[in-house]
A and B are shown apart, each in its own frame.
Chain A
Amino acid sequence: EVQLLESGGGLVQPGGSLRLSCAAYGMTFGSYAMSWVRQAPGEGLEWVSDVSGSGDSTYYADSVKGRFTISRDNSKNILYLQMNSLRADDTAVYYCANLYFGTHAFDIWGQGTMVTVS
């Protein structure tokens, strides 16, 4: 069974940093592009960032460009999101997800990790 497990969330002061991790199980991790999607309390879904299967290509939403960095370690089956210069409006549940083969649909989602900037 494919499973994604996020960790690393918590409470951080404005301007601070945090690194999220997403461990993948039951999948050929390096074969999949991976993404981070976030959801502020009571709000909708917002795409944050993508990384290709090899890790060579990365993409960011304008709202996080220059502050967040996505990366992956295919030897450990782990996806990362380094978040710097955090702001109050970064407060959200952060989900990792893999992109369904040949589509831009988010297939399997983790349970999410909460980040609070205050």
Chain B
Amino acid sequence: SYVLTQPPSVSVAPGQTARITCGGNNIGTKSVHWYQQKPGQAPVLVVYDDSDRPPGLPERLSGSNSGNTATLSINRVEAGDEADYYCQVWDVNDLHVFGSGTKVTVL
């Protein structure tokens, strides 16, 4: 089965850049999607197809994908960015696969 590996937590100071990684075997050959989930709320799609943003999402969020690692970057981090972030890919065998999630804490 295809496995996506995320760090359990990332801490970042306000105004700095948070980088959340998502590791998978040759993940660079797949399209990676990212979701933000705040406590008690449903997930929100923030990046799709590696680096595209849905309408209305801030440019501070960006994605990249190469080799065995995809990355979601949050520039100029704000208190409101504190949330869990999940990566997701589609695999021909397992269909939709989610990473285990990364909790972003704003210091």
Contact = CB atoms under 8 A, between A and B. Distances in A.
A1 B44 CA distance: 15
Interface string B66-107: 000000000000000000001011100001111111000000
Give the interface size bracket for A toward B: 20 to 34
Interface in A90-112: 95, 100, 103-107, 109-112
Interface in A25-57: 35, 37, 44-47, 50
A95 B43 contact: yes
B96 A35 contact: yes
Contacts of B45: 100, 105-107
B43 A44 contact: no
B43 A50 contact: no
Contact of A45 (B49, B95, B98): B98
Contacts of A44: 86, 98-101
Interface of A: 35, 37, 44-47, 50, 59, 61, 95, 100, 103-107, 109-112
11 contacts: A44-B86, A44-B98, A44-B101, A45-B98, A46-B98, A47-B95, A47-B96, A103-B31, A106-B33, A106-B96, A109-B44
